[in-house]
């Protein structure tokens, strides 16, 4: 098995903290190597980099893969996915919220000389791993070894790395909840109680499942989702987090959702939930990850 950041694949954790940092300068390395190396008590961490930051680091091991780019706004048919590209991404997740919070504080302090915490979200497991809409999240995620194929660069100098797509979504829970359950199911493309995919004429071509279950050159477009409910009563939603061996898969899925594919259909879900941020990152394998960090002091 190729080496990779193990936290990508630890499933079922109860608590999440998502940190997005802006790095205004061009440091040759980052402080915080001890934090990058140290395990999180009762949890995991995953670290990703934007293209600009990764390209500026002095270590050749940290050079960005050619396919890595900044996320740019997707202008669709009547809806858009906004860009808010950040430089550094840290995802903490596990069973002990206090330990995750302590690690988040440590990262903030370690990076304070070179980075600004631009966005912070706290996620949680909702009931039996459901989205706040009440539907099971990630039902179609690849399983077992198929997760590795979907998420990890398979070979070459960046083998074991993974491309990341991160978005914060805000749900219209009141509006969605006012729909009859059968209409909610047609928006999503699955039954609400037991997450069974609709079939035949019962499956609308503009349901969320239909717009994200796509093929390219005859092959299914697979990504590995690790999303989590986030927010409070006023801004409840989802932190959409996905990993892929190829960032083009994210773009193809967005084109299908936003009415930019050949059939021109737009995902019904966009009438009930909207993204408010968007960034692409790259999670290098462990050796390249550590090469991005100095000795813990600001460069």
DSSP code per residue over 263-278: T--B-GGGGTEEE---
Element (H, E) at 65: none
Active-site residue, selected from the candidate residues 87, 131, 137, 206: 137
3-state secondary structure of 61: helix
- Domains in the chain (CATH in brackets) are 6-291 (3.30.70.1030)
Element (H, E) at 81: strand 80-81
137 is catalytic: yes
Q: How does residue 295 score in pLDDT terms, banded at 50, 70 and 90?
A: low
pLDDT in tens, 201-234: 999 999 999 999 999 999 999 999 999 999 999 9
Q: pTM to 2 decimals?
A: 0.97
Q: What is the mean pLDDT of the chain?
A: 96
Per DSSP, helices labelled H in 22-111 are 33-37, 51-56, 97-111
> Structure tokens of 68?
């890595």
pLDDT in tens, 88-136: 999 999 999 999 999 999 999 999 999 999 999 999 999 999 999 999 9
pLDDT in tens, 262-286: 999 999 999 999 999 999 999 999 9
Under 8 Å between Cβ of 54 and 7: no
């Amino acid at each position: 098995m190729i080496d990779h950041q193990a936290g990508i694949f630890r499933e079922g954790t109860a608590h999440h903290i998502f940190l997005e940092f802006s790095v205004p300068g061009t440091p040759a390395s980052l402080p915080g190597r001890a934090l990058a190396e140290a395990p999180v008590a009762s949890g995991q961490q995953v670290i990703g980099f934007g293209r600009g930051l990764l390209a500026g680091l002095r270590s050749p091991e940290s050079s960005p893969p050619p396919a890595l780019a900044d996320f740019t706004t997707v202008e669709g048919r009547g809806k858009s996915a906004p860009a808010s590209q950040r430089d550094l991404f840290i995802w903490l997740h596990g069973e002990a919220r206090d330990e995750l919070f302590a690690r988040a504080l440590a990262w903030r302090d370690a990076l304070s000389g070179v980075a600004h915490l631009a966005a912070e979200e706290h996620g949680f497991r909702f009931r039996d791993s459901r989205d706040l809409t009440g539907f099971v999240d990630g039902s179609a995620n690849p399983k077992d070894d198929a997760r590795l194929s979907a998420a990890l660069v398979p070979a070459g100098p960046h083998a074991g790395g993974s491309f990341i797509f991160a978005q914060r979504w805000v749900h219209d829970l009141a509006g969605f909840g006012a729909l009859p359950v059968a209409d909610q199911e047609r928006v999503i493309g699955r039954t609400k109680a037991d997450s069974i995919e609709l079939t035949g004429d019962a499956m609308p071509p503009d349901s969320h499942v239909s717009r994200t279950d796509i093929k390219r050159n005859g092959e299914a477009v697979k990504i590995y989702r690790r999303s989590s409910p986030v927010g409070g009563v006023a801004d409840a939603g989802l932190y959409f987090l996905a990993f892929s061996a190829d960032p083009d898969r994210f773009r193809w899925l967005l084109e299908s959702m936003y009415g930019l594919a050949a059939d021109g259909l737009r995902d019904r879900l966009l009438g009930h939930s909207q993204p408010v941020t968007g960034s692409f990152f790259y999670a290098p394998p462990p050796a390249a990850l550590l090469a991005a960090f100095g000795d813990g002091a600001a460069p």
